[in-house]
Amino acid sequence: MITSSSERTAVSGGAPLDESGARPGRTPGERRLLGGLMANSITLFAVYGAVPTVLLANLVGEIDPGGKATALGVISAISAVGSALANPIAGALSDRTRSRFGRRAPWMAGGALLGGLSLIAVGSGNSLVWVAVAWTLAQMSLNVLQAPLTAVVPDRTPVRRRGFFSSAAGLAQMLGGGLGTALAAGFANALGLGFTVFGLLVIAGTAVFVLLNREPSTAGAQVAPFHLKSFLAGFWVSPRRHPDFAWAFLGRFLMVLGYFSVASYQLYILEDYIGLSHSSANHLVPLLSLAMLPGMIIMIVVMGPLSDRIGRRKPFVVAASLGMALAVAVPLAVPSEGAMFAYSVLVGLSFGTYMAVDTALMTQVLPNPDDAAKDMGVLNIANAGPQALAPALAAVAVTLLGGYRSLFAVAIVLIVAAALSVKPIRSVR
């Protein structure tokens, strides 16, 4: 569990959290934190929803129609390496940053600016090499933003309120992903403009957070001397010394990899597995995203605070994982538009529950609250890495293992394994 020092963290501008037991979101500082967190998360995850599943898939399809599945997988695998490195490194550096703007804001602002410009560059590309380089730079930059952003909950909220704020963050992520996919479909015939719009959105969302939640200066704070060897060694969290951290990492990694291996190939599934035309598939993608939202919103709003109330996280995470496996099994059994809608509804209910509670669970297995951004960055490899790797896994399943039915089967195995990985965690109920 997180030590009691996390109970004394600040919400905004260094003001101490209200320990009276009032509901979250009642104080001006909490409202600013909540609003900024949601704005930044919505715009960031709108990019994650829009680019891999719609904009990048269409762009790669235009450049290399015959080899689009393999090309998308290769580009995603390359960008995955950059993402996996950038997130924990940026988190660790933000933990050590001393500036009059605080330790998180400089990295968030820089990551958003470079990431937004890189997205614009992706949309101007007309070769696979250009797209691969620009998308990799965009992924790395966005992970520089995401690392300190994920440290907001352990930085600024006490343990007993983690479910509420995790629900808010999860709601923002799901709204961003769903709305981003829906909005991106409108740019299927204007891909350059679409990349530009999403690049500017992530810059604006980050500006809202940074301006609403200004950090106190850390310019005069003491920090241990920098030694490269100890800095690099800090990224290794021993599974033997911190087994709960390791199990949480593994569970999130498998869950996200299983889910996004299907989600990232949704356009191609509709075209090549369901049998829709390219135009019909592009029109159906936003409808499927919208079908996810009602159940997702309900579960995120309800399950995070409910887990706070009953003091348990693991049963919610396990149930959500098994529900996700059931969702993936529907189109495996019945390849139809109706099955894809059923899949979307079940995904909304399951993934909404998962995101609301699993984030709270992860904040409670951090080895050291003083290294929150670094450790959340390491854990976030289990989130960002699989999202980037998923198209590569999907390409292997589709091209080498027997088509889209094999893809669904692989996803189910991964998600069930994720559910089993949560059970050994001992410090969180």
- Please name which of 406, 382, 429 lies closest in space to residue 246, comparing C-alpha atoms: 382
As to burial, measured by CB atoms within 10 angstroms (0-12 exposed, 13-18 middle, 19+ buried), residue 7 is: middle
CA torsion sign for 123, 124, 126, 130 is negative
If pLDDT is split at 50, 70 and 90, which confidence band does 18 have? very low
Cα–Cα distance list, 22 to 17, 165, 271, 349 (Å) = 10, 14, 51, 29
Residue 229 neighbours by CB distance under 10 Å? 7
For residue 318, the enclosing domain spans: 28-218+239-422
Residue 21 within a domain: no
Answer for the pair 415, 258: CB distance below 8 angstroms, yes or no.
yes
pLDDT in tens, 26-62: 567 778 888 888 999 999 999 988 998 889 989 999 9
Residue 20 within a domain: no
pLDDT in tens, 231-243: 666 666 778 888 9
Answer for the pair 58, 191: CB distance below 8 angstroms, yes or no.
yes
Q: Please tell me the distance from the alpha carbon of residue 372 to that of residue 88, in angstroms, as a whole number.
A: 10
What is the percent of the chain with per-residue pLDDT over 70, rounded to a whole number? Answer: 89
**What token pair was written down for 111?**
């990551």
Q: Please tell me the distance from the alpha carbon of residue 151 to that of residue 391, in angstroms, as a whole number.
A: 27
The full length of the chain comes to 429
- In which element (H, E) is residue 392 found? helix 372-400
CATH number, residue 33: 1.20.1250.20
Residue 2 within a domain: no
Helix, strand or coil, per DSSP, at residue 16? strand
**What token pair was written down for 134?**
């620009």
Instruction: Decide: pTM greater than 0.75.
Output: no
pLDDT in tens, 191-224: 999 999 999 999 999 999 999 888 878 787 777 7
Residue 427 within a domain: no
If pLDDT is split at 50, 70 and 90, which confidence band does 139 have? very high
pLDDT in tens, 348-393: 999 889 887 887 888 788 777 666 667 777 777 777 678 767 888 8
pLDDT in tens, 293-322: 899 889 988 888 898 888 888 999 999 999
- Please name which of 258, 273, 284, 7 lies closest in space to residue 155, comparing C-alpha atoms: 7
Residue 11 within a domain: no
Query: Based on the structure, what is the number of domains in the chain?
Result: 1
- In which element (H, E) is residue 10 found? strand 10-12
Q: Please tell me the distance from the alpha carbon of residue 80 to that of residue 177, in angstroms, as a whole number.
A: 19
Residue 105 within a domain: yes
Answer for the pair 382, 291: CB distance below 8 angstroms, yes or no.
no
pLDDT of residue 69: 80
Please give the residue that has the higher pLDDT: either 371 or 268. Answer: 268
